[in-house]
Structure 1
Amino acid sequence: MGDSKCRYGICECQRYKAQAGKDVCLFCSHSFGFHEILFSNINIEEHPYGQCQECRYCQIYKEGTPDKCVYCGHYQGYHRSWPTTSITTSSSSILIPPTSSSTRNFRNVGRPVSDSVTINHLVFLDKESSNKIPKKGTDLWNIMMNKGHIKENVSISKADNILDKFRNLYGINDQRVKLKLYSPKGGKPIEINDELSFDLIKSSITKANRRLYIGPDIDSSINLNFSTSNNTDNHVNGGTSSEEYLEIIENLPPQLLNNNGFENTYTFFNGTYF
């Protein structure tokens, strides 16, 4: 469909080609809605609005669930009306991207541009949990919440020292601890090796649930003192299964799990004293 640059994060894809039967690009695997669209190819009835002002990546609105965009999941109220001007090329008329500096300056006359994002769930994957993506409501999710590994409604801006902010959130005082991002592809966390940055974080937040997955980039045997303010008394709330205790035991420091210690500890958790 000609040049139609992908606007998702730092993606360098220059044109959209659909995967068979999907609104997803064959080249970059990003949604059709994240690519610039030739104005002459836009079906206004199907795409009544333009760029999403919440995420900036989504370029066109298409109704999914009532009043929400199928591409980015944001309400139609966050999408701009189509501009009345366009530029003409030798082949067709191309929509002027609302991300142009002139549009931004007009929208923010008299006030500085604020570039920030809110993460619904910031999920810390340590050495033991870095091979699986926890699903909300599951035992693993609840255990990670109780351990302080999952933080809710975290806002960051481009001006933040993001590494220090994340360290402070998790009570990590060791300055040797750096952080890396994970992509939750196929239910398994895939390491993202690029340097931690605001733009990389924006492009790595999941679209549907606005979650971000992080973890240490060095051996996690370094003591990480997580905040456990979300802890609740499991016995008050109906007890904990032996399977959950087994997972907790498996995450204990190795020096506590000698040949006899593991068996005795498991017997203790498995009901001898409860």
Structure 2
Amino acid sequence: MKNTQILIVDDDPKIRTVLRRCLEGEGATVLEAGNKAETLAAVSAHPIDLITLDLDLGDDDGFDVARTVRNQSKVPIIMVTGKDDVIDRVVGLEIGADDYIIKPFHLREVVARIKSVLRRARNDGPPKPTFANGTTAWRFDDLVAVIDEMKLFDRDGALIELTSGEFKLLEVFLKRPKRVLSRDQLMDLIGSHSYTPLDRTIDNQIARLRKKIERNPAAPRLISTIRGIGYSFTCDVQVCKDQPLSNKAESALARSD
């Protein structure tokens, strides 16, 4: 994290101190803020590379702070909260947050997430497969899907094996990011007409898909469960066209034909 300037926003000075020492140990320059005014002043005065933002700032609303910062800057924001609330997570991502961390957290997880977000922001991560000849690539969380070919590639360009049902479900999510979809809607969209209210087919399919695309299927970040309603694909999706394939993805695509 050398040559990186990180702003820690938290109203608890003890947490700020712990995070600052950890990140400085990784080579980062760290600034601190305890409220909205201090945050906006820091963003205006310094070239911030990333913000960790606690949602509970006492008199200030973390969502409001994030919204104001996002209106002024594209600086990456990682939200930090003590509530494992899916709705809060969805709202945060809709505002423009780049990631979400639940308290209590492990410092190694914080460092890993910061490095991942910085890598995406700077486009200096592992090579990602890109496509040509009119093919459309759907990018999300360092993965790439080629819907026309029903192919999914991992962060290193290797092919991830999905069943036709799993890929159809992924396609539904990729085309409707950050929308809450009921089980009925999902079953209709993937073309299953034998669904009953007590059927667990969609839940089982989502569980299998999570095992293949989530970094940690036990704590999914891409496909969130909306209790009592259904599911939401909470990841940003980028659609790209007419770009050359990476060699590894080209080989994987050829072998699968």
TM normalised by structure 1 equals 0.29
Relative to its length, the structure with more helix (as a share) is: 2
Name the larger-Rg structure.
1
| Higher strand content, 1 or 2 | 2
With normalisation by structure 2, the TM-score equals 0.31
